[in-house]
Structure formats: C-alpha cells, structure tokens
C-alpha cells in the first residue's frame, strides 16, 4: 500500500484462527505514551483506530488525535473481541461523543451500526440503515462506510454515506469463508489510501478491490478461519522454478 505502519497496542488477545479466548487491556497511559513517542519521531499521514476496550481508551485516543485535526482518521471500532461480549453502552457513548466527531471515515458492520444507534434510539427490527447512517454523520463523522448491508444473496453489499446521503453502493461476490482479518484489512487499506492522498470514495473503492483479491487468495493455515493473503500481488506471475 506504499505505507509504513506504526502500531499502538490497546489490548493483547489469547487467540488463534478459531477465535479469541481472552483479552487483556493495555493500561491507557501506556497507550498514550506509545502514541506520543511515535508521533514525535515520525510524520504520520493517517490514523486507523481499531479495538478500544474501555472508556479510558476512547478518551486517551480522542485526546491524541485531537492534536492532529489535519490528519485523516479511519475508525473501525471492532466493538467486541470475545464471543457473547459486546462493548458497554458507556464505551459506545464515549466513542460517539469523543471520537466519531473527529472521524473522517467510520467503518461499521450492519450489526455494529444498529448497536451504536441504540445509544440514541430504541432497538428496532426495521431497516434503518440510512436513517442511522445520516444520524451518525450529523454527530460529526465525514463519511460512514457500512459493510454487509442487505442485498443479493450471492453478493456482499457495502454502502458509503456522506452528509449528502448514499454516495456509493458496491456489491461483491460472496466468498466461501469464514475469514479472519477481513474487516481490519479493509479499514487499514482505506487508511493507507487516504495517507497516499486519495479522496474517501476512491480510497473505499481501492480498498474493496484489494480486500476482495486478498479474500480470493486466502489460505487455511490453522484449524479455524481462512487467513487473508495480503501479499497475493507479490506472488502473481512468479517465475516457474522448473522452467529453464
């Protein structure tokens, strides 16, 4: 993607390709110190924020990114790491109030969108994707990217919203899975594309294409989910070692 990634760790997981068994949160002060040290050392062209396990994590990250308002922020909150354990109402509220107003591009699944929406409305079985999306944008994020929206059974449909409403709808052939790392690959690639100067709709398009190709080349390396091959492009057209 033409970028060098700098990692700030918010949690340690006991996990493999079958899933996570336990999660240990990193002290929020350590999270802040990791980020400050890196930001003082190197120029950063985009932020990508993933798992945050507590209000304290949300708060320190929001404070850090607020010092760099010119840098695009991709927020992929990944609200749960453990089965049957979702982010608390308080953590989601903190995210909505502190981080989402600073976000360039918020990525959520349909289920995550509904969970966030329940911080301001009652639970509903109606299709409120567009209504909830526009409300989140009103809270301050520039774009909202919703994955796994209802569509053709054979396709995966993703929707991109801005203050003008639905900007883009794309359908991709549904691939046999399940996979580990698909959402993270998608949001990290969008962050890389923004770091390279693309606008949001173009960054989303490039990221979808790259992620779909990585899914196509996924491998079963363990006994659980398929692992995306993000380096498929480096192996395409390899020289046949048996050729003279």
Q: Give buried/exposed letters for 194-213 (b at 16+ CB in 10 A, else e).
A: bbeebebeebbbbbbebbbe
Instruction: Report the Cα 23 to chain-centroid distance in Å.
Output: 19
230 falls within a domain: yes
160 falls within a domain: yes
Q: What are phi and psi of 146, to 5 degrees?
A: -110, 125
Question: Cis peptide leading into 50, omega within 30 of 0?
Answer: no
241 falls within a domain: no
Domain of 55 in residue numbering reads as 11-235
183 falls within a domain: yes
6 falls within a domain: no
CA angle 194, 12, 117 (to 5 degrees): 60
Instruction: Give the pLDDT of the chain (244 residues) as one tens digit per residue.
Output: 899 999 999 999 999 999 989 999 999 999 999 999 999 999 999 999 999 989 999 999 999 999 999 999 999 987 666 666 677 889 999 999 999 999 999 999 999 999 999 999 999 989 999 999 999 999 999 999 999 998 777 788 999 999 999 999 999 888 888 999 999 999 999 999 999 999 999 999 999 999 999 999 999 999 999 999 999 999 866 645 444 3
Among 26, 147, 5, smallest CA distance to 76 is for 147
| pTM for this entry | 0.92
Number of domains in the chain: 1
Instruction: Indicate the DSSP class of residue 54.
Output: S
243 falls within a domain: no
24 falls within a domain: yes
Tell me how crowded residue 140 is: count the other CB atoms within 10 A of its CB.
14
187 falls within a domain: yes
Domain CATH code at residue 94: 3.40.1190.20
């Amino acid at each position: 993607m033409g970028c060098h990634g700098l990692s700030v760790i918010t949690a340690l997981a006991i996990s493999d390709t079958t899933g996570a068994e336990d999660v240990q949160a990193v002290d929020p002060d350590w999270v802040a110190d990791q980020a400050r040290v890196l930001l003082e050392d190197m120029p950063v062209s985009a932020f990508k924020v993933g798992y945050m396990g507590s209000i304290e994590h949300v708060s320190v990250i929001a404070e850090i990114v607020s010092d760099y308002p010119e840098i695009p922020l991709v927020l992929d909150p990944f609200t749960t790491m453990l089965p049957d354990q979702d982010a608390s109402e308080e953590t989601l509220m903190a995210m909505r109030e502190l981080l989402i107003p600073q976000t360039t591009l918020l990525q959520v699944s349909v289920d995550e969108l509904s969970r966030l929406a329940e911080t301001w409305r009652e639970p509903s079985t109606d299709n409120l994707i567009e209504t909830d999306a526009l409300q989140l944008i009103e809270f301050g994020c520039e774009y909202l990217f919703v994955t796994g929206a209802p569509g053709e059974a054979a396709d995966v449909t993703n929707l991109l919203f801005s203050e003008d409403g639905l900007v883009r709808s794309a359908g991709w052939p549904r691939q046999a899975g399940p996979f580990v790392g698909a959402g993270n690959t998608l949001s990290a690639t969008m962050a890389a594309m923004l770091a390279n100067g693309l606008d949001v709709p173009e960054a989303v398009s490039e990221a979808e294409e790259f992620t779909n190709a990585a899914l196509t080349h996924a491998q079963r390396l363990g006994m659980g989910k398929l692992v995306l091959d993000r380096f498929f492009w480096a192996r395409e057209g390899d020289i046949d070692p048996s050729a003279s």
